[in-house]
Amino acid sequence: MWLAIGAALAMPAFAQDAPDGVSAADTDPQQRTAELDAVTVRGEYIPEPMANTAAVSSFVTREDFERTGDSDAAAALVRVSGLSVVGDKYVYVRGLGERYSSALFNGSPLPSPEPLQRVVPLDLFPAEALAGVTVQKTYSVKYPGEFGGGVIDLQGLTVPDAPFLKFNVGVGGNSVTTRSPGLTYYGSNRDWTGYDTGRRDLPDEIIHSGQPITSANYSREWLAAYGSALNNPNLFLLQEKRRIDPDTKIGVSAGTAFDIADDLRLGVIGVVSFDNEWRTRTGKQQDGIFTTDGADIYNDYDFATTRMNARVNGLFGLGLESENHSVSWNTLYVHDTIKEAKSRDGYNFNVGVDIREDGTLWLERQLINNQLAGKSSFGEYGDLKLGWRLAYSKARRTTPYETSVRYALVDGTWIHGSGNNALRFGAVDDEVASGGIDLDWRLPTERELTLSAGLAYSDNDRAAVQRTFRFDALGGGLPVYNQYQRIDYLFSDYNFQNGILTLNEITPNNNGESAYDGTLTNKAAYVQLEGEIAPAWRATVGLRYEDATQAVHPLDIFSGARVGGIFAAPPLENDYVLPAATVTWNLAENQQLRFGASKTIARPQFRELAPQQYSDPDNDRLFFGNPFLVDSELLNLDARYEWFFDAGEYFTAGVFYKQIDNPVEAVIGDFGGNQLFQGFLNAPEATLYGVEIEFKKYFAPDLRWLGDGRVYLATNYTWSSSEVNAEEGDTVIPPGFNGVPQAARSFVADGSRMQGQSEHIANVQFGVEHEGADLQATLIANYVSERISVRGRAGQPDYMEDPGATLDFVLRKGLDLGGWGGFKPALSFSARNILNKSHEEYQERDGGRIDLYTYKPGISWDVSLSLAF
């Protein structure tokens, strides 16, 4: 129907009269081009990215990266209207969680190295490897149908216009971390690189055991041998580091292009960088329950955590292009490692005394993305264009030798209990093979009309596994002497060999809770008509068809066989016809109105479906999936006014509305008692609507110190409101209820806000640019109002997060050395979170408050020197 409407709107273009005896299709091309130029001249003041897209879009360019000094894609997208970033890596568009946004790299889907997300964390993409980022907020059928808040398309660097070579080196720090005391553990002498030496690997004899390592399957001697094989005090003994090292970074990028034949140009580009960063967090962790008397706190901890984050990035690009054809190869490599030492102590309700929990973590993430793509145009005027792409990506996340040890406070001394420790080994492998072909045909009509069609295919496979062990005391309890031993002496070969300790595997395996494989196969086709439907009017209408099968299969971790039972839900097999239409009215030379309508979907993520338990290192929260989730379906409506009053200057204002059937919401549940976990359910329905305003302007005040420089102001504001609807009689299937429907209002309050949605998002950039002095200085302010991070248990307040206001400053100054050495040095400085805003996640009711996870991240700074040749 939508395509028929578009064809009807386009009919006036086909019905225009051609010269007598000559059809419109036979009109001289040069004459036709002149006529088209006359038609489109009205919008010549509209910048090219905005003029060439009918969608509501925002763009982050290389210039923007340099101005704000952002190190990765996630940091840069904070500045975009309607966007907020959670955990410094997941983008929320218009208040919708990361599940409602998709990330592409040069148009191809990406895998995620995170077990808790199918969406790739955007902090993995360094600014040096990106030519820009496009954020499209209205749907067009050329993109995948999984669209709620927006599509984030990352563009890698391509064939350079001119040869370049750039070196960069820098140092940085943090007000609560650098040169201050912190926690660490030795690990190995190569840990600073982010690559493990193999010391943390699970021994082969345990990997291939074929059965749980327990006393029911092995003799005491075998268990002692296995325990000794796993024992390594360098990996669990916490140490205090008197002065945490400053941050360091180094990078090099280079590119060149040269002619290899007539009308044939070859380009090569490469980027390599290394960063090492330390951050300490100290704060409060609580959980509890609200009663009529207020907040009753069960667990009340003070915590300290120190993380080392080491990252290696690499990009290699090879491009071959001629006037009408181009082929490119891109390989992106990202290796990101977190080494963490943590300790918390305080009152524990279940134990009844003060306890202390120490832990270590080594979290290694790796992403390798390979893409081969080509573009061709045919015909004298490029009336027919062909684009194609093939990509294979693999992401891997490993958490070898993740430890936790609990102590109890007795008579002022921390002592060990029996079995209050855990040793975990986890891995997630995620692969995506994808391909697509796009065909654009400019129709032989007097008005510019383009008919597009395409096919796309993607196959996403994920395998996840986790094994958990514990060192138990033989005989039911530790001897008194051993209770006071230092942890490296307690977990010693001597105690294993002399019958004091034994190894016990506690990997849950009854319902496939420790291993699963997930698959998502998607086949898609689309057709779209775009062009002028009348003078100063453009429209895009299209249909996309998607046929997808998604499944998560719990596995027996030892045999690899699929596990049945309540967690083995049937696959989600759905096909959709997704229409989309946008209309743009160029009402003046520099002004236009856009209107958009579409239907899209959102599929549950693997981690939301899988019954496997995971502990999130960002907040120490246990996660558990829900295999009974279903797809969400969305209706999207948009309208936006755009006024471009000078080059790079504009004012935009828009409204949007979304209706979502079966939205996925994060909820808190419990396994009985006070063992809390985060799970997921489909709420019955939700609506989201809001207003976006954006302004950008350059000023040239008559100031002596500024000379011929100019002042820069950019600001955007988004107000949005959401409502989850749960009528009387509606049901949901929450996690932990074995697939049995429950009353929706017991878990989702009717009329409450959507999880993750903030009412206010505002960004302001104020800066100075002086081209002659090679100077850029920018003050950047961001504000995000409170949002629901997770829905609370039945009858309990929701978990709230208050991002608040942050203030950053970025300075870049080129240094004039009189051309000495033939290079151009530049000095950069940035200061982040100048207001020292705290991170706050809490529950609150009637004046009572539980601080779930609060800390001060401190003020961060860095200084870098770059040399460009």
Judge whether residue 692 has pLDDT over 60: yes
Top-confidence residue, 627 or 566: 627
Q: Is 265 exposed, middle or buried (0-12, 13-18, 19+ CB in 10 A)?
A: middle
Instruction: Report residue 107: phi and psi, to 5°.
Output: 85, -5
Q: How far apart are CA 825 and CA 815, in angstroms?
A: 5
Give the Cβ contact number of residue 766 at 10 Å: 14
Give the Cβ contact number of residue 727 at 10 Å: 10
Q: How far apart are CA 41 and CA 588, in angstroms?
A: 10
pLDDT of residue 823: 76
pLDDT of residue 110: 72
Predicted confidence band of residue 11 (pLDDT cuts 50, 70, 90)? very low
| b/e per residue 409-421 (b: at least 16 CB within 10 A) | beeeebebbbbbb
Do 525 and 142 form a contact (C-beta atoms < 8 A)?
Answer: no
Q: How far apart are CA 732 and CA 729, in angstroms?
A: 10
pLDDT of residue 75: 67
pLDDT of residue 32: 36
Instruction: Report residue 756: phi and psi, to 5°.
Output: 95, -10
Counts of helices then strands in the chain (DSSP H, E)? 11, 42
How is residue 335 written in tokens? 């290796």
Predicted confidence band of residue 71 (pLDDT cuts 50, 70, 90)? low
Judge whether residue 163 has pLDDT over 60: yes
Q: How far apart are CA 3 and CA 141, in angstroms?
A: 12
Q: What is the pLDDT of residues 123-147, one digit of tens each?
A: 667 676 677 888 888 889 998 998 8
CA distances from 610 to 117, 464, 566, 681 (A): 11, 10, 12, 13
| N-term to C-term CA, the chain | 57
Task: Write the CB contacts of 261 (distance below 8 Å, at least 6 apart in sequence).
Answer: none
Alpha-carbon torsion (157, 161, 163, 167), positive or negative: negative
Structural domains of the chain, ranges and CATH numbers in brackets: 2-868 (2.40.170.20)
Q: How far apart are CA 416 and CA 409, in angstroms?
A: 9
> Which of 15-24, 525-534, 536-545, 767-776 shows the lowest per-residue confidence on average (mean pLDDT)?
15-24
pLDDT of residue 77: 72
Mean pLDDT on 742-762 = 89
Judge whether residue 81 has pLDDT over 70: no
CA dihedral 190, 192, 195, 199 (to 10 degrees): 50
Mean pLDDT on 824-847 = 91
Q: Which residue, 370, 318, 325, 389, is CA-closest to 107?
A: 389
Mean pLDDT on 605-634 = 82
Q: Which residue, 867, 777, 764, is CA-closest to 69?
A: 777
Q: Is 350 exposed, middle or buried (0-12, 13-18, 19+ CB in 10 A)?
A: exposed
Q: How far apart are CA 134 and CA 136, in angstroms?
A: 6
Mean pLDDT on 690-707 = 83
**SS3 at position 633:** strand
What 8-state DSSP symbol labels residue 9? H
Q: What is the pLDDT of residues 293-346, one digit of tens each?
A: 888 998 999 999 999 999 998 888 898 998 899 999 988 888 999 999 999 999
Q: How far apart are CA 228 and CA 471, in angstroms?
A: 11
Do 136 and 150 form a contact (C-beta atoms < 8 A)?
Answer: yes
Mean pLDDT on 676-698 = 90
Top-confidence residue, 662 or 29: 662
How is residue 573 written in tokens? 């097999």
pLDDT of residue 37: 36
**Residue at token pair 């969400």:** 632
Mean pLDDT on 443-456 = 92
Judge whether residue 165 has pLDDT over 50: yes
Q: Which residue, 286, 285, 98, is CA-closest to 789?
A: 98
Q: How far apart are CA 688 and CA 658, in angstroms?
A: 5
> Which of 273-277, 377-381, 514-518, 731-735 shows the lowest per-residue confidence on average (mean pLDDT)?
377-381
Judge whether residue 641 has pLDDT over 90: yes
**SS3 at position 346:** strand
Q: How far apart are CA 543 and CA 127, in angstroms?
A: 34
Q: What is the 3-state secondary structure (H, E, C) of 763-793?
A: EEEEEEEECCCCEEEEEEEEEECCEEEEECC
**Residue at token pair 């181009």:** 326
Q: How far apart are CA 122 and CA 109, in angstroms?
A: 13
Q: What is the pLDDT of residues 604-613, one digit of tens each?
A: 888 888 877 7
Task: Write the CB contacts of 283 (distance below 8 Å, at least 6 apart in sequence).
Answer: 302, 303, 839, 853, 854, 855, 856
CA distances from 760 to 151, 422, 750 (A): 21, 42, 22
pLDDT of residue 1: 40
The residue type of 123 is D
How is residue 656 written in tokens? 């949007």
pLDDT of residue 491: 92
This prediction's pTM: 0.86
Within its chain, how far is the Cα of 787 from the centroid? 18
Judge whether residue 542 has pLDDT over 90: yes
Q: Which residue, 572, 578, 566, is CA-closest to 552?
A: 572
Predicted confidence band of residue 120 (pLDDT cuts 50, 70, 90)? low
Task: Write the CB contacts of 25 (distance below 8 Å, at least 6 apart in sequence).
Answer: 444, 445
Judge whether residue 727 has pLDDT over 80: yes
How is residue 558 written in tokens? 């030892």
Q: How far apart are CA 293 and CA 313, in angstroms?
A: 53
Q: How far apart are CA 713 and CA 651, in angstroms?
A: 12
Judge whether residue 241 has pLDDT over 90: yes
Quick one: what percent of the chain has pLDDT higher than 90? 44
Q: What is the pLDDT of residues 353-390, one digit of tens each?
A: 899 999 999 999 898 989 999 999 998 767 899 999 99
Mean pLDDT on 738-750 = 88
